[in-house]
Amino acid sequence: MDTDLALVLGLALAVLSIPSMVSAFADSRTPRVSVVTLVIAVGLIAYALISHPEGYGPSDIPDAIVHVIARYKFW
């Protein structure tokens, strides 16, 4: 798997797990699925950070997102 793709998928999963976690806490439920999703997201982000030869800086993240969207555009 490409490191840019792993980083973008990890970030997307992390962002999408937050509303689910908040909803579970608001309803006094255990956020099992949210925690599993967050663990997968952290794993993908860690894989991307470790596997990328130069590493990722804060300014590289928007570039990685744009490159992945441009590569996998559907229109």
Pull the structure tokens for residue 74.
């559907």
The answer to whether the pTM exceeds 0.75 is: yes
Higher pLDDT, 75 or 68: 68
* C-alpha to C-alpha distance for 14 and 75, rounded to whole angstroms: 26
Pull the structure tokens for residue 64.
């990685």
How do the domains of the chain map onto residue ranges?
3-71
Pull the structure tokens for residue 30.
């255990």
Interval 13-53: pLDDT, tens:
999 999 999 999 999 999 999 999 999 999 999 999 999 88
Reported as type and span, the H/E element at residue 30 is: none
